[in-house]
């Protein structure tokens, strides 16, 4: 069971996507797991053949537990065994129908003299439906088998809807608990320091307008993509901020995987990774960001997207916030926030002009860096945004 | 080709908005108010909506037209004008 976020302790296996004997590639989806935040598709760490599935759907599995054995290429293993049924639809318990009988419309049988065929009565018994609550549609209002089946269907649908609503509320509650645990840990363990700077986006916005004018509607870029790319490239200059805290020290990451805070429409947020963000073209970053937002909201993120971020970017500009003081998501050691792009008076070559200005903030772990390095980092982000054509 | 009626365009616009914000009660939307504010659409949602309009109606939508498309009434007018152009 991979760790899919700070303070994740366990996950519930929903379904296996592969069975013993099947070949899997590295990164291929092999299982679906329910965490406190969302359902996540788990990717295989390695390529090989599924030898054995050790966990059954529905089981709660602690982080770090072995869930399956994969025989890697070249390994000689036992023949596949231990197959586990892939999944079963969750059963829905349907209580007996106890609705109050509706007043009999004209032409329908009198109360107490239920008009129902023996076959329909038998079916009602089998399905646990009280015929007294069923409106008959047969001759003279007689209750037919179809009426019983319809009532049963309505009860099942109502129960499913109720269950889905309860699940959504449960997930919201659990998500808040997970966020609370991660943020409390962050504030408890990480000595944050905060820096902020105002960045003139005049050149970046003008370049973007021109660039988008050349692009088809579906390929247009959002300003946020430029910000993400600048954040990623600036990490090459101050790599101490691209690290994970492990035990008693920060371990730098060679790869730059930018976690992007995405608010979910039903509440809460997730921050999945844009892998190798520093190496992607703006067009690729945009496509991947669109895909990530869509899948985060649909609940189909992959395990590596949640476990890999090495820094997080959050933007609250669209909520008219000018400055973001973010909380670092452990074990990361930095977070960059962007506020709203606002028109401000700005001195350009001795003249005051109205320019689009954004406030960029850095929340960083003082165990790993100090203000001097943090300031260098924000200056690099600013400089990169002054040359948008090079992003 | 005949320009689709106002009602048809409005219905299609609402359907596309419903796909972007499936949890929304579209019946409560005010056609003259900003849909981004009413539905809490972020810039990615809005861009997806623009792309959906472009694909559905086969019209070009420059970025300069985005402000006109922030209300349902504005969308209907813009789309019908575009479709009426030779």
A339 pLDDT more than 70: yes
CA distance B42 to chain A (A): 7
Look at residue A124 in the predicted model and tell me its pLDDT.
86
A316: region left, alpha or beta (phi > 0 left; psi from -120 to 50 alpha): alpha
Q: Would you state the pLDDT for residue B86?
A: 76
pLDDT score of A352 = 96
Interchain proximity B63–A293, CB inside 8 Å: no
Tens-place pLDDT, residues A14-44:
889 999 999 998 888 999 888 877 788 888 8
Q: Is the pLDDT of residue A248 over 80?
A: yes
Structure-token match 């995987």, residue found: A257
Q: Decide if pLDDT at A49 tops 70.
A: yes
Q: What is the DSSP code string of A9-37? A: -EEEEEEESS-TT-EE-TT-EEEEEE-SS
CB of A290 within 8 Å of a chain B CB? The answer is yes
Q: What is the pLDDT of residue A79?
A: 47
The label of the residue with tokens 């820096």 reads A195
What pLDDT sits at residue A95? 37
> How does residue A103 score in pLDDT terms, banded at 50, 70 and 90?
very low
Beta-carbon pairs below 8 A across chains A and B: 30
The band of A167, judged by pLDDT with boundaries at 50, 70 and 90, is low
What pLDDT, on the 0 to 100 scale, is given for residue A378?
A: 98
- Confidence label for A125 from pLDDT (cuts 50, 70 and 90): confident
> Looking at per-residue confidence, does A76 or A287 come out higher?
A287
Q: Which of A213, A217, A222 faces B44 most closely, judged by CB atoms?
A: A222
Here the ipTM equals 0.87
d(CA A18, CA A15): 9
In sequence order, what are the beta bridge partners of A363?
Answer: A194, A335
Which chain A residue lies closest to B62 (C-alpha atoms)?
A213
CA distances from A131 to A113, A122, A163, A235, B29 (A): 11, 10, 25, 70, 42
Give the C-alpha separation, A155 to A135, whole Å.
14
Whether the per-residue pLDDT at A319 is higher than 70: the answer is yes
State whether B50 and A224 contact (CB < 8 Å): no
Per-residue pLDDT of chain B (86 residues; tens, 9 = 90+): 678 888 999 999 999 999 999 888 899 999 999 999 999 999 999 999 999 999 999 999 999 999 999 999 999 999 999 999 87
If you average pLDDT over residues A288-308, what whole number do you get? Answer: 92
Report, as an integer, the average pLDDT of A141-153. Answer: 87
Best probe of the B interface among A217, A272, A315, A316, by most B CBs < 10 A, is A217
Looking at CA atoms only, how far is residue B80 from chain A in angstroms? 19
CA distance B62 to chain A (A): 7
Q: Which residues of B touch A222 (CB under 8 A)?
A: 43-44, 47
Q: Which residue has the higher pLDDT, A2 or A231?
A: A231
Q: Which of A318, A340, A358 to mutate to test the interface with B (most CBs of B within 10 A)?
A: A318
Smallest Cβ distance to A318: which of B43, B51, B61?
Answer: B43
Token pair 């504005």 is found at B74
In this predicted structure, the answer to whether residue A112 has a pLDDT above a threshold of 90 is no
**In chain A, % of residues over pLDDT 70:** 87
Q: Does the beta-carbon distance from A293 to B44 stay under 8 Å? A: yes
Average the pLDDT over each of A49-58, A102-111, A240-249, A338-347 and give the range with the smallest value: A102-111
Confidence of residue A109 (pLDDT cuts 50, 70, 90): very low
Q: A218 and chain B: CB distance < 8 Å anywhere? A: yes
A107 touches chain B (CB under 8 A): no
Which chain B residue has the Cα nearest residue A223? B43
Residues 6+ apart with CB under 8 A from A139: none
Q: Please indicate, yes or no, whether the overall pTM of this predicted structure exceeds 0.90.
A: no
How does residue A126 score in pLDDT terms, banded at 50, 70 and 90? confident
Q: Which of B42, B55, B60 sits opposite A318 (nearest CB)?
A: B42
Q: Do residue A289 and residue B51 have CB atoms under 8 angstroms apart?
A: no
Strands A334-338 and A311-315, by their bridges, are parallel
The mean-pLDDT minimum among A126-135, A225-234, B2-11 falls in: A126-135
- Nearest chain B alpha carbon to A220: B47
Per-position b or e across A133-143, b if 16+ CB within 10 A of its CB: bbebeeeebbb
Residue among B21, B43, B54 whose CB faces A265 most closely: B21
Q: Give residue A137's pLDDT.
A: 87
CB contact under 8 A, B63 and A220: yes
Test A265 with B23 for CB contact under 8 angstroms.
yes
Contacts of A214 in chain B (CB under 8 A): none
Of residues A89 and A232, which shows the higher confidence score? Answer: A232
Percent of chain A at pLDDT above 90? 49
Min Cα separation B13/chain A (Å): 17
Torsion of CA B68, B70, B72, B75, to 10 degrees: 40
Searching chain A, which residue's CA lies closest to the CA of residue B21? Answer: A265
**CA A317, CA B57: separation in Å to the nearest integer?**
31
Phi, psi of A342 (to 5 degrees): -125, 150
Per-residue exposure over A20-58, b if at least 16 CB sit within 10 Å of its own CB, e if not: beeebeeeebbbbbbbbbbbbbbbbeeebbbbbbebebe
Which region among A164-168, A206-210, A283-287, A347-351 has the lowest average model confidence (pLDDT)?
Answer: A164-168
Region A89-95 average pLDDT:
36
- The mean pLDDT of A324-334, rounded to a whole number, is 96
Residue A82 has pLDDT above 80, yes or no: no
Model confidence at A142, in pLDDT bands (50, 70, 90)? confident
Contact A222 B47 (CB under 8 A): yes
The verdict on a CB contact (< 8 Å) between A212 and B50 is no
């Amino acid at each position: 069971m991979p760790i899919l976020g700070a303070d994740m302790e366990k996950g519930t296996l929903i379904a296996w996507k592969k069975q013993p004997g099947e070949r899997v590639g590295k990164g291929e989806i092999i299982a679906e797991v329910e965490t406190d935040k969302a359902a996540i598709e788990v990717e295989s760490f390695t390529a090989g053949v599924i030898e054995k599935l050790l966990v059954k759907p529905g089981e709660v599995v602690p982080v770090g537990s072995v869930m399956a054995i994969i025989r890697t290429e070249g390994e000689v293993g036992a023949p596949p065994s231990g197959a586990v049924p892939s999944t079963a639809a969750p059963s829905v318990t349907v209580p007996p129908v106890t609705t109050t009988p509706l007043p009999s419309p004209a032409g329908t049988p009198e109360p107490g003299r239920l008009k129902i065929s023996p076959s329909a009565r038998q079916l009602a018994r089998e399905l646990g439906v009280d015929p007294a609550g069923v409106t008959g549609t047969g001759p003279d209002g007689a209750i037919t088998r179809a009426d019983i089946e319809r009532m049963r269907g309505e009860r099942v649908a109502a129960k499913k809807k109720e269950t889905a609503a309860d699940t959504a509320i449960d997930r919201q509650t659990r998500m808040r608990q997970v966020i609370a645990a991660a943020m409390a840990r962050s504030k408890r363990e990480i000595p944050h320091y905060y820096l902020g700077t105002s960045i003139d986006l005049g050149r970046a916005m003008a370049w973007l307008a021109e660039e988008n004018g050349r692009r088809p509607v579906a390929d247009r870029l959002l300003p946020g993509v430029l910000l993400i790319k600048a954040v990623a490239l600036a990490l090459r200059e101050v790599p101490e901020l691209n690290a994970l805290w492990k035990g008693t020290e920060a371990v730098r990451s060679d790869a730059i995987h930018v976690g992007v805070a995405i608010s979910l429409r039903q509440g809460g947020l997730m921050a999945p990774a844009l892998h190798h963000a520093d190496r992607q073209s703006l067009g690729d970053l945009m496509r991947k960001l669109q895909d990530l937002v869509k899948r985060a909201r649909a609940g189909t993120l992959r395990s590596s997207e949640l476990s890999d971020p090495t820094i997080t970017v959050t933007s609250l500009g669209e909520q008219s916030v000018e400055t973001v003081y973010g909380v670092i998501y452990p074990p990361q050691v930095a977070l960059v926030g962007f506020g709203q792009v606002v028109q401000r008076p700005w001195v350009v070559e001795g003249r005051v002009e109205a320019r689009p200005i954004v406030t960029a903030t850095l929340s960083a772990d003082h165990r790993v860096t100090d203000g001097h390095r943090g300031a260098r980092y924000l200056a690099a982000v600013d400089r990169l945004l002054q040359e948008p054509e090079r992003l | 080709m005949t320009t689709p009626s106002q009602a048809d365009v409005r219905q299609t616009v609402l359907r596309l908005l419903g796909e972007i914000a499936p949890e929304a009660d579209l019946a409560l939307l005010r056609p003259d108010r900003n849909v981004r504010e009413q539905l809490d659409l972020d810039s990615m949602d809005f861009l997806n909506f623009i792309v959906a309009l472009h694909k559905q109606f086969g019209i070009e939508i420059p970025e300069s037209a985005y402000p006109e498309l922030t209300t349902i009434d504005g969308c209907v007018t813009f789309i019908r004008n575009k479709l009426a152009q030779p």
